[in-house]
Amino acid sequence: MSEITLIRHGQANTGARTEEDYDRLSDLGRRQAEWLGEHLLSVGGFDRVISGTLRRQQETAALVNRGGRPHRRDPRLNELDYFRLSHALEARDGIPFPTDTASFAAHVPQVLELWRAGHAGPDHESYDAFRDRVLDAIHDAAAEGSGAVLVTSTGVIATLCALALGLETVVKARMFLRILNTSVHRFAIDGEGLHLIQFGATPHLDHPDRHAARTHY
């Protein structure tokens, strides 16, 4: 059995309306990653870092990797393109991109269901293709042995959790919304499949003076 750890990137550019604008860490996001890096350095337990190729993922990986472990990039850990999928939802159903937290919470399951049902159109990566490339990345990392820290994004983590737990789309969307920036998740992989053994840990943010730094967006 191999165990791998997945970390969500730090807070990105909240309020952005395009992937390009979103794809960079905020000042708080950088601090979140630095704190997590300090924590991981103090407890050890990983020997390599793998991140997606998105800017926010690579920036987080560099800040987390305080011990200078080998770091490679794997585009299979990149996030789903939520902004383009939201455009497909608006074009099909007239549902605009959300402007506040409450409307975003309602928007996520609508986007994910459109995508899962195959209604986003041929110009978008399909849900099946996304799921398969994420699983391939996880299995390849596990085949190299335990000790990998993978820096990725909410959609990747929520998809793996849903697969491990057999969750339906609506519950997966709720999980998507509850994954904190720089939260830590652990999976075990063996001959029986994928097992979730830790969800959403934030030991680096558990200090009372850091509670305000817990963010979802």
Q: What is the pLDDT of residues 122-141, one digit of tens each?
A: 888 999 999 999 999 999 99
Integer Cα distance of 29 and 42 in angstroms: 20
Percent of the chain with pLDDT over 70: 100
Residue 18 tokens read as 């395009």
For residue 165, which amino acid is it?
L
Q: How many CB atoms lie within 10 A of CB 71?
A: 16
CB 192 within 8 A of CB 5: no
For the chain, which residues make up each domain, given as ranges? 2-80+125-205
pLDDT digits (tens, 9 = 90+) for 131-182: 999 999 999 999 998 899 999 999 999 999 999 999 888 888 889 999 999 9
pTM: 0.94
Pairing of strands 184-190, 2-8: antiparallel
> Which top CATH class is 2-80+125-205?
alpha beta
Dist CA 51 CA 61 (whole Å):
6
Residues 185, 5 contacting (CB under 8 angstroms) = yes
Which residues of the chain, if any, have pLDDT below 70?
Answer: none
